[in-house]
Amino acid sequence: MLCGKERCPVVARAYQQAKTAPLIDRTNIDGTSPPAVFIGRYGYPYVAVGPLIPPVHGDTMIYDVPELWLKEGIDIDRFIQFRSNLVRGKTLVNIFDLEKNRMVEDTRYMALANNPTDMEAEFTKKPQGRLVIDDNVPPFGPSAPLKKLDAGTLKLDHRIERAFCDTDLLAAEAVKSLYKDGTYVSKIQRAFSVGAFGIKKSRRFVPTRWSITAVDSMLGEHLKQDTKEAPLINEFRVYEHHSLDNNWVVLMLPTSWRYELIEAWYPNTAWNPYGKDVAIMSSFEFFEGRKTYAEIGGCYYAARLVVNEALTRERRQASVVILREALPGYILPVGVWNVRENVRAAVAAAPHKFATLDQSFEFIRTRLKIPIRQWIEHSAVLHDYIYQRRIEDYT
């Protein structure tokens, strides 16, 4: 490819856009929403609110349920294909104006729905734009201002509806209760974005990008409190997974809670498109936690949630270091769901257990391309553990 990539993301997107264009080359569209909504962040506190509607009918649920994408074996091309089909309707509102008009109200109820919903949308102009790429949010297709919106029969998720109707329940409590009941995290995030939870006077629209990280952070912080009170694991563990040309290794150490996510982006990947060397970045926390937003972004909180899921399920405590290699075949970012679900898949499998850290490193060498030395150089948690072990050896 001229861009130097194994596969060109521009060509991949253009191919899917060319297939979608004839279906949306008009000012009205009808189709079955997964359901899906999107709340923008530009212009905050005035934000663009609206549904995501594909120009197709039928069971489109797979279009917007990240928890199913890995299980269904969705590859990057199919992912681009169905996300490109999602046309975004937009209505500008103040974040507190939850009932501005019928279109806004229908958008909110869509976010609470439990089933794909037939919709008809009329726009003020033809949808325009290319596939929207974001490091936090799954991509979607063209957009246009809404003129009219008609929604079919909505069947609300009764668990979310119950929290929606309780205007005295704090948003954080609603989120934790829904999670405990087994509601998909992505569904909670979607409802959170349309101001479905919390004290009535405090409810507001939350940009989709922010709602994803807010829910991941909230749940991870909640579970972490149980993790920190549990007994330590008895060995070193290594979990692994590979998907979408990403290698994932989760290393657990038998010591008190610490956590770190280290990402290595090869040249010609989404966040290192023009580099000549592998770009490595990380964020971490020790037992006391973090007081500032993680430099590495929303993926930090998505992965932290999942490792605490695993530890609290087992009633154990550990230090956790996640190593991610994004290889050249990872041609465009697909959202933090990729981190959440890949780490979840890794820790769902049986771990490789070792008596020492060195034995763990020997195994990891066979799974990752980057030398262990480089990972240690970029790891605050590993550096601290190795240094402390050496001190204790002499005391």
Q: What residue segments make up the domains of the chain, in order of their start?
A: 9-151, 161-219, 236-393
CA 240 to CA 351: how far, in whole Å? 8
pLDDT bracket for residue 6 (50, 70, 90): low
Six-digit token pair at 267?
């040249």
- Would you state the pLDDT for residue 187? 97
Top pLDDT among 271 and 109 is at 109
C-alpha to C-alpha distance for 206 and 125, rounded to whole angstroms: 26
Q: Mapping DSSP to helix (H, G, I), strand (E, B) and coil, where does residue 265 land?
A: strand
Per-residue pLDDT for 2 more than 50? no
Using DSSP's 3-state secondary structure scheme, residue 251 falls into strand
32 neighbors 300 (Cβ within 8 angstroms): no
Predicted confidence (pLDDT) per residue in 80-111, tens digit: 888 888 999 999 999 999 988 899 999 999 99
Whether the predicted pLDDT of 20 surpasses 90? no
Tokens of 350: 């049986």
The strand pair at 319-326 and 258-265 is best described as parallel
The vertex-165 CA angle with 163 and 166, nearest 5°, equals 65
Q: Residue 45: is the preceding peptide bond cis (ω within 30°)?
A: yes
159-207 confidence digits (pLDDT tens)? 999 999 999 999 999 999 999 999 999 999 999 999 999 999 999 999 9
Q: What's the burial of 120, exposed, middle or buried (CB within 10 Å: 0-12/13-18/19+)? A: middle
Contact 98, 5 (CB under 8 A): no
Residue 150 predicted with pLDDT over 90: yes
pLDDT in tens, 311-358: 999 999 999 999 999 998 888 888 999 999 999 999 999 999 999 999
d(C-alpha 78, C-alpha 88), whole Å: 19
Mind listing the pLDDT tens digit for each residue in 290-305? 999 999 999 999 999 9
